[in-house]
Structure 1
């Protein structure tokens, strides 16, 4: 999600890899994780913010609250690679709950540079309506990734009985929606939880996921004061389950190893009146993360981790 210009950021040539080192990430997750798996990460690389990937970047105590997994996907990773298998809803532990999934960007944004570059009011300032997003060095786009994970997540949540709504479905609308419209979509749906799915576009060696929480904003049309607390609860549960289900570590370049980042510059959060978070599932510009993000099996685990976190939040368990 880091790219903010109106035009597509073309694939870049990979930089020479630095020597790997084994990093042991030890973090306790209340009620679920007893410890981190020893993880081989790309070491010695400076992140976009100048941080170095090292064991020191990981917090010794995780803030996550993970819940026992809710397994509703078949063992072979169904649905298929596009995640569009039909799923029922209306009966189950989430019956009566509404979840809004916001797939970051839109595959059609590339053909609508003028429209997505239009400035919209996000309360604190004005920003582009939307962007094209980033991609892996081999050209797998963030928009394609987010839509695939959104389809998989929808299937999982519907199997739990939730009513699930997507802000867009790739071809409808043809571009966008704008970031302010994405927020209003969740508000109009009276969503019990909303999540925006993304993947980052940082430098090689910058690895891991992070969940973005809304900060306290009260300016213009933005007032997040009532959702800051429940959104933090939602984000913490999503982060804890995501790391457990995917094995992806918290970001080594933002969040100081917690996997949680608070921001007040995102219209999709600023204008929300329902509990909402963003998740950056990994860094598309890092070769190790890219190998995961382009794997259908891993995307199914990513959807499962997000689903488990949302289920935990909505059930209060």
Structure 2
């Protein structure tokens, strides 16, 4: 979620979102015979080849081997925002930690929720698991910043470190917003700006744009209350500031909007979010 969330639920951002074809080179043609070879003594007439045995059979042809997926071997870090145990440990999650650009932020937050009480931490964890399964099925190695939805943290600086230590090809943090502005709806994708290192420059911008474009083509509308055309350049998000890998953060929608809340609460809706995010990551990795 972003700064427009409730004061009791400051934004958690995490360290963080793919196709080209290949062609086989044809074997080189053998060189033409040299003049010396054409003037050499004629070769002796070969003896007639014996007839093949009637019991011989042709060698079976080998089946073609399918090429590996384009993104196989890549590493993706998925960062589901917040955690289910944060609310019971205020001292721990309120502890200040480095946030980049000379800032500090609370270690973590509780996140937001729908008006009916469905929490952001449960939504992000479920979507991240679905995204991870889709990527793993394509041969991509997936690393999560948290392994369950009952723990505390990890802190935002640690989440960024997980992506850096994994040498991730892409880091995607998954969140949902909690704006109470009238009519606020839609997704947006945040990226670090101005960049603090090379990975935060063109690679992170391209990751954010690919996520934005794929979310749109998957039927999601860009936010009407924050960012521009679904993108939000940010200098205050710890997970993005501290990342040395291509990273972006997806705010999937506004949990306080009734229509979007209904989509996030349903398993089918969460699968729609996950499918779009996974497709975007694949497209980014393969580009």
Instruction: Identify the TM-score tier after normalising by the shorter chain.
Output: 0.7 to 0.9
Aligned to 1:248: 220
Structure 1 residue 180 corresponds to structure 2 residue 151? no
Query: Structure 2 regions of 5+ residues with no counterpart?
Result: 11-17, 21-67
Aligned to 2:122: 144
Measure the CA separation in 2 of the matches of 1:279 and 1:122: 18
Cα shift readout 1:28-47 (whole Å, capped 9, x = no counterpart): xxxxxxxxxxxxxxxxxxxx
Shift of 1:107: 0.8
Larger Rg: 2
SS of the residue 1:126 aligns to: strand
Structure 1 residue 169 corresponds to structure 2 residue 142? no
Aligned to 1:296: 267
Structure 1 residue 272 corresponds to structure 2 residue 249? no
Aligned to 2:137: 159
TM-score, length-normalised on structure 2? 0.76
Aligned to 1:120: 97
* Equivalent pairs, count: 229
Shift of 1:67: 7.4
Tell me which of 190, 215, 227 is aligned to 2:200: 227
Please tell me whether the aligned partners of residues 106 and 176 of structure 1 are also in contact (alpha carbons under 8 angstroms): yes
Query: What's the RMSD between the two structures over aligned residues?
Result: 1.9
SS of the residue 1:251 aligns to: coil
Aligned to 2:187: 209
Tell me which of 247, 257, 277 is aligned to 1:306: 277
- The structure with higher relative contact order (CA 8 Å, sep 6+) is 2
Cα shift readout 1:132-161 (whole Å, capped 9, x = no counterpart): 000000000000000000000001001111
SS of the residue 1:122 aligns to: strand
Please tell me whether the aligned partners of residues 6 and 178 of structure 2 are also in contact (alpha carbons under 8 angstroms): no
